[in-house]
């Protein structure tokens, strides 16, 4: 089979799996698990073959036009370069791991068939986005991902948090998608095609008429999808979905789609200095803010969610300095270790029976209960904190190196200011990242207090994939940073000495500070009992998690934070903790700015409809009713009256006819 | 038309015309009394005068067969039937003040208007038309019979079927009514069925008014 | 004889019958008035038939034939009509037309009580059965 055929099969297989799974879910439950895992696994294998055949050489391009669609043609096009091949590989790997993990995690869930089908559909859509060479086809995958995310976040729809979170995720990403769509149209109008290759060709010749407008419009969609400031607020709430979903969609793949999109069309953004500056500022604000917020979260998954936002900020930062190689490198390694983090967090939540770090810090022996999760999570957290030689170190250093390279002003495509912004924010975030990673590790695994409850061994399907993902988290960066430039633009990704020393040093500082703060507060922890544990520890992991999420707000007063004086994050952040825990009140700001005005407008419209429009309607009904009352009077029931009226009318008509006929 | 040979004027009536006019006046007067009298039985009797007068008019128009049929059927049977009807419905003997309904003024207006229109049209149309009554009678029994059984046989037979149907119908109506009356169970069931629905029908308009 | 005489007499009789139909309260008197109207039509038919039989070469005597038919039908009509009136009178105790107001909107005057509601339709139903 040709590479093109294989590449077409990659998104097609999970799609067929999803359709079959949905159809057979009720009638043949025995087929659901194979139908969920096998197509994704086959897609992974095919994506690997495609990657090997492509091998970082010239991009594979194929296109067919099904039917003419008006002025700008829409084509089913493939555009597989090194970026696409590698990202598809990561997507396939994470999706396969998540599907295998889900068979254990949602072992007893009655809605597992639809869940698995939606994950398959999502995987298919992500493959489509990655491989597509046509922006409209890409948009199809983009939106299918959005709707899958909506359904999967709302998987525990019995809980109000999940319902609200799914609607919020959908609305916020759609808010970005509207300008995104307009931007796509503007771009296609300027370039005369939706094909990525043609657009890039147009950009290379300076053929874009409105580069800044287009870039900013597209950035809105990217910010929504990739959870960048100011449209990031949906991602922490989306943690109300099942953990595997968070791992696949809200950590490794879908949120990376925005970054990947910018990476594909980077020349378009580079055509506008303003867009690059906006991108840099957006990345910087996102990185720093999310780092602070992550330090204040109590829900283990929300910590990881803010960490995801921050790491996506690194990627957009790399794009802002014009180095898409570094961005995609970080995307790949982040996809591996963040998926691992989430999946391990799922195991921990199941074992501990709670998602609250405050409660975990009062349990001892959790790491002995789940040794697999402990070791793999340690690896992933080290990768997240960018400690050498873990893969996160190399990818993050490539980002920082690219930013440092721009600060010298030797590049024409990105302003030096952007380089400085990204570099400073990146270094600051390195401290924060290490700090919250250390806090997470210390609170979860070094708790003191009652023995952690024993729920038996975790399912094998859940622990094996942790080790599978631990391998790339550990070794990918170190092994790949020399060969990856061949796949990408050819720019060197090796860490530079200055940034490596700076970054690693700052990370160590952050970790050590948290450690000392933690030692200071453990004494307090013993005095303040806190904690709530899921009511059904014998249930499967999904049930435990759903109950943990549902009980967090009643138990601790808030879904995000807990009033725990023993939290090292609280000690370090000081007065800032209160604001960081709520995501710097961005939701409240949105409520004031958008929700309240919309509600006020709605009540105004309701008032107008009830009191003004209906008055006219009622008035219009009054006259016919009066007429009807008058006419009803004539219905006396007396036949003679009727006949009299009838004959009188006849006489009048006859006389009239006669007069007309005789011409009188 | 005969206009050319004999200009007949209204001011020099023939004997037949005078007779027709006089009998016509009697007929019309009897008809008027018949529809206005307050004594119901008298109305039927005045109807006899009217119908008899009409029979005379038929004779004057040389339609003798029709005239005798008129006397036989109308005066002989229909009026008797009507009298039986009045009797069976226990019509009051003597003056009944409410013989006319409240509709009478409307009826009078309509009737006068219709009469005016009709008379005007008829006079306007047939002012100069003349019927020649000399020669063999146009409505002799022979002529009528020949025409009826030569040209009108099929309608005649159809009419006999209609009459039969009417006869059977009248009998069924009376018999059924009698059976119903003799069995009170039927009646009571009828009332039982109808009574619950009636208060609803009474109530509903008020409720609908309120609802609107 | 002038055709106008019988024609005018017929018109006047017809309108007299019309008045009776519209103004009379008792159903039997209404039937009488209907007879009056039918007779007016008969007179018209006879008069025009006589006139036409003199002027036309060939005549079917259609006017006289139709008059005979009318008389026969009128006899049938009076029979059925009386049967209906009698049935109504039996069921409601009255033969007054303006008391049969079941089709009135709102029923402002209903001296006849509840059973009347249903019985009003009974003669009609019986009539339908009879003619069937």
Q: Which residue of B has its CA nearest to A661?
A: B121
- Alpha carbons within 13 angstroms on the beta-carbon side of residue A316 total 35
Q: How confident is the model at residue A278 (pLDDT cuts 50, 70, 90)?
A: confident
A538 in the same domain as A451: yes
A519 in the same domain as A642: no
Q: Is the pLDDT of residue C8 over 90?
A: yes
Q: What ipTM, to 2 d.p.?
A: 0.76
CA distance A643 to chain C (A): 7
Residue B118 and residue C41 in contact, taking contact as beta carbons nearer than 8 Å: no
A654 in the same domain as A520: no
d(CA B180, CA B174): 10
Residue A421, in any domain of the structure: yes
Residue B154 and residue C116 in contact, taking contact as beta carbons nearer than 8 Å: no
Would you give the DSSP letter of residue A610? I
A644 in the same domain as A520: no
Structurally, chain A folds into a number of domains equal to 2
Task: Classify the C-alpha dihedral A99-A105-A108-A114 as positive or negative.
Answer: negative
Of C22, C100, C105, the CB nearest to A644: C22
Structurally, chain C folds into a number of domains equal to 1
Helices (H), chain C: 4-23, 27-55, 62-92, 114-119, 121-131
CA distance B10 to chain A (A): 24
Q: Which residue of C has its CA nearest to A643?
A: C22
The pTM of this model reads 0.66
User: Which pLDDT score, from 0 to 100, does residue A181 have?
Assistant: 92
> Any idea how long chain A is?
664
Lowest-confidence range among A320-324, A352-356, A549-553, C22-26? Answer: A549-553
Task: Please list every residue in chain C whose beta carbon sits closer than 8 Å to the beta carbon of residue A640.
Answer: 21-23, 97-98
CATH number at residue C36: 1.10.287.3510
d(CA C60, CA C67): 13
Residue A251, in any domain of the structure: no
Residue A598, in any domain of the structure: no
Residue B94, in any domain of the structure: yes
CA distances from A609 to A599, A606, A614, A622 (A): 15, 5, 6, 18
Residue B171, in any domain of the structure: no
User: Which pLDDT score, from 0 to 100, does residue B7 have?
Assistant: 60
Residue B21, in any domain of the structure: yes
Q: Which residue of C has its CA nearest to B202?
A: C106
A410 in the same domain as A316: yes
Instruction: Answer with the one of A525, A551, A584 that is the final residue of a domain.
Output: A584
Residue A380 and residue A344 in contact, taking contact as beta carbons nearer than 8 Å: yes
Portion of chain A with pLDDT greater than 90, in percent: 8
Q: How confident is the model at residue C107 (pLDDT cuts 50, 70, 90)?
A: low
Q: Is the pLDDT of residue A184 over 60?
A: yes
Structurally, chain B folds into a number of domains equal to 1
A459 in the same domain as A322: yes
Angle at A488 between CA A486 and CA A491, to 5 degrees: 80
In tens, the pLDDT along B97-135 reads: 777 888 888 889 999 999 999 998 888 888 888 888 777
Chain centroid to CA A273: 27
Residue B60 and residue B19 in contact, taking contact as beta carbons nearer than 8 Å: yes
Total CB pairs under 8 A between chain B and C:
310
d(CA C55, CA B2): 9
Chains that touch B (3 or more CB pairs under 8 A): A, C
CB-based contact A632 C105, cutoff 8 Å: yes
Chains that touch C (3 or more CB pairs under 8 A): A, B
CATH number at residue B123: 1.20.120.1200
Instruction: Answer with the one of A584, A601, A621 that is the final residue of a domain.
Output: A584
A547 in the same domain as A463: yes
Residue B182, in any domain of the structure: no
A641 in the same domain as A565: no
Angle at B135 between CA B132 and CA B141, to 5 degrees: 105
In tens, the pLDDT along A383-441 reads: 888 888 888 888 888 888 888 888 877 666 677 888 888 888 888 888 888 888 888 88
A659 in the same domain as A543: no
Range of the domain at A655: 634-664
User: Which pLDDT score, from 0 to 100, does residue B176 have?
Assistant: 57
Task: Please list every residue in chain A whose beta carbon sits closer than 8 Å to the beta carbon of residue C104.
Answer: 635-638
Total CB pairs under 8 A between chain A and C:
34
| Mean pLDDT on A127-134 | 89
Task: Please list every residue in chain B whose beta carbon sits closer than 8 Å to the beta carbon of residue A651.
Answer: 110, 113-114, 117
Residue A460, in any domain of the structure: yes
Residue A246, in any domain of the structure: no
Q: Which residue of C has its CA nearest to B199?
A: C114
Q: Which of A630, A640, A654 to mutate to test the interface with C (most CBs of C within 10 A)?
A: A640
Range of the domain at B10: 1-151
A567 in the same domain as A648: no
Q: Is the pLDDT of residue A67 over 90?
A: no
A491 C-beta neighbours (distance < 10 Å), count: 16
Please give the backbone phi and psi of residue A347, each rounded to the nearest 5 degrees, phi first: -65, -40
Burial of residue A410 (number of CB atoms within 10 Å: 0-12, 13-18, 19+): exposed
A517 in the same domain as A408: yes
Q: Is the pLDDT of residue C130 over 50?
A: no
Q: Is the pLDDT of residue A607 over 70?
A: yes
User: Which pLDDT score, from 0 to 100, does residue A254 have?
Assistant: 84
Q: What are A408's two structure tokens?
A: 């010298």
A451 in the same domain as A571: yes
Of B16, B81, B107, the CB nearest to C22: B107
Name A643's Cβ contacts closer than 8 Å, sequence gap at least 6: C21, C22
Q: Which residue of C has its CA nearest to A630?
A: C105
CA distances from A209 to A262, A499, A502 (A): 19, 38, 42
């Amino acid at each position: 089979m040709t590479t093109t055929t294989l590449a077409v099969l990659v998104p097609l297989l999970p799609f067929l799996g999803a359709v079959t799974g949905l159809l057979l879910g009720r009638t043949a439950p025995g087929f659901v698990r194979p139908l969920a895992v096998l197509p994704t696994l086959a897609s992974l294998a095919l994506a690997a073959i495609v990657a090997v055949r492509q091998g970082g050489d010239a991009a594979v391009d194929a296109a067919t036009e099904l039917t003419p669609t008006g002025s700008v043609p829409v084509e089913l096009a493939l555009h597989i370069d090194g970026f696409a091949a590698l990202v598809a590989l990561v997507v396939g790997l994470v999706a396969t791991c998540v599907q295998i993990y889900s068979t254990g995690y949602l072992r007893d869930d009655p809605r597992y068939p639809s869940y698995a089908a939606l994950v398959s559909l999502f995987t298919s859509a992500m493959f489509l986005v990655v491989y597509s060479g046509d922006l409209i086809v890409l948009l199809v995958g983009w939106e299918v991902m959005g709707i899958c995310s909506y359904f999967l976040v709302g998987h525990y729809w019995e809980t109000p948090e999940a319902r609200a979170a799914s609607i919020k995720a959908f609305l916020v990403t759609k808010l970005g998608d509207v300008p995104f769509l307009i931007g796509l149209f503007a771009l296609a109008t300027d370039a005369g095609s939706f094909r990525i290759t043609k657009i890039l060709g147009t950009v290379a010749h300076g053929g874009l008429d409105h580069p800044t407008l287009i870039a900013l419009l597209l950035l809105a969609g990217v910010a929504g999808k990739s959870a960048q400031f100011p449209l990031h607020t949906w991602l922490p709430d989306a943690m109300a979905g099942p953990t595997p979903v968070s791992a696949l969609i809200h950590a490794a793949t879908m949120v990376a789609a925005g970054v990947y999109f910018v990476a594909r069309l980077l020349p378009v953004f580079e055509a506008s200095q303003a867009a690059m500056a906006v991108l840099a500022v957006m990345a910087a604000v996102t990185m720093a803010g999310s780092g602070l917020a992550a330090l204040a979260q109590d829900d283990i998954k929300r910590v990881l969610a803010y960490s995801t936002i921050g790491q996506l900020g690194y990627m957009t930062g790399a794009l802002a300095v014009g180095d898409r190689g570094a961005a995609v490198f970080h995307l790949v390694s982040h996809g591996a270790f963040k998926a691992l983090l989430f999946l391990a967090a799922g195991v921990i939540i199941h074992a501990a029976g709670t998602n609250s770090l405050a409660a975990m810090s009062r349990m001892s022996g959790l790491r002995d209960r789940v040794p697999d999760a402990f070791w793999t999570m340690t690896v992933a957290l080290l990768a997240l904190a960018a400690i050498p030689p873990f893969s996160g170190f190399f990818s993050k250093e490539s980002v920082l190196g690219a930013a440092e390279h721009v600060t010298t002003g030797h590049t024409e495509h990105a302003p030096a200011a952007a380089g400085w912004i990204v570099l400073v924010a990146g270094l600051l975030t390195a401290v924060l990242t290490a700090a919250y990673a250390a806090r997470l590790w210390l609170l979860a695994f070094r708790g003191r207090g009652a023995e952690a409850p024993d729920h038996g061994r975790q399912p094998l399907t859940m622990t094996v994939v942790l080790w599978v993902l631990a391998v790339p988290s550990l070794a990918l960066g170190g092994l790949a940073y020399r060969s990856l430039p061949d796949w990408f633009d050819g720019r060197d990704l090796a860490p530079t000495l200055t940034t490596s020393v700076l970054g690693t040093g700052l990370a160590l500082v952050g970790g050590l500070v948290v450690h000392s703060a933690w030692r200071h507060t453990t004494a307090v922890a013993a005095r303040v009992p806190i904690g709530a544990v899921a009511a059904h520890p014998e249930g499967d992991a999904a049930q435990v998690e759903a109950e943990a999420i549902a009980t967090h707000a009643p138990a601790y007063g808030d879904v995000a934070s807990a009033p725990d004086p023993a939290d090292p994050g609280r000690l370090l952040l000081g007065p800032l903790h209160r604001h960081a825990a709520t995501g710097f009140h961005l939701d409240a700001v949105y409520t004031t700015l958008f929700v309240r005005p919309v509600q006020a407008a709605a009540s105004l419209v309701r008032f107008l409809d009830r009191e003004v429009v209906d008055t006219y309607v009622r008035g219009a009904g009054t006259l016919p009713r009066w007429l009807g009352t008058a006419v009803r009077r004539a219905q006396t029931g007396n036949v003679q009256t009727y006949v009299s009226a009838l004959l009188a009318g006849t006489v009048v008509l006859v006389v009239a006819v006669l007069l007309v006929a005789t011409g009188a | 038309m005969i206009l050319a040979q004999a200009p007949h004027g209204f001011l020099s009536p023939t004997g037949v015309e005078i007779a027709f006019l006089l009998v016509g006046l009697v007929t019309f007067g009897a008809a008027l009394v018949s529809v206005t009298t307050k004594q119901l039985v008298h109305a039927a009797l005045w109807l006899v005068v009217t119908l008899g007068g009409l029979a005379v008019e038929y004779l004057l128009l040389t339609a003798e067969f029709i005239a005798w049929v008129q006397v036989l059927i109308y005066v002989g049977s229909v009026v008797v039937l009507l009298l039986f009807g009045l009797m069976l419905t226990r019509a009051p003997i003597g003056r009944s003040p409410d013989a006319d309904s409240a509709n009478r003024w409307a009826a009078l207006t309509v009737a006068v208007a219709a009469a005016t229109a009709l008379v005007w049209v008829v006079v306007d149309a047939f002012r100069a038309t003349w019927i020649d009554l000399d020669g063999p009678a146009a409505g002799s029994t022979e002529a009528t019979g020949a025409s009826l059984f030569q040209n009108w046989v099929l309608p005649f037979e159809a009419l006999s079927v209609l009459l039969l149907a009417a006869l059977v119908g009248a009998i069924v109506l009376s018999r059924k009514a009698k059976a119903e009356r003799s069995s009170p169970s039927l009646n009571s069931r009828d009332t039982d069925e109808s009574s619950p629905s009636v208060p609803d029908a009474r109530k509903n308009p008020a409720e609908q008014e309120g609802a609107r | 004889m002038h055709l106008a005489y019988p024609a005018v007499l017929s018109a006047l009789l017809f309108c007299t019958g019309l008045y009776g139909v519209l103004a009379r309260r008792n159903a039997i008197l209404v039937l009488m008035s209907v007879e009056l109207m039918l007779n007016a039509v008969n007179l018209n038919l006879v008069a025009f038939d006589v006139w036409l039989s003199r002027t036309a070469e060939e005549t079917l005597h259609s006017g006289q034939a139709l008059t005979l038919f009318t008389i026969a039908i009128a006899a049938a009509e009076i029979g059925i009509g009386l049967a209906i009136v009698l049935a109504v009178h039996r069921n409601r105790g009255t033969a007054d037309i303006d008391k049969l107001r079941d089709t009135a909107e709102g029923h402002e005057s209903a001296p006849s009580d509840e059973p009347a509601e249903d019985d009003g339709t009974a003669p009609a139903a019986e009539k339908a059965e009879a003619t069937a």
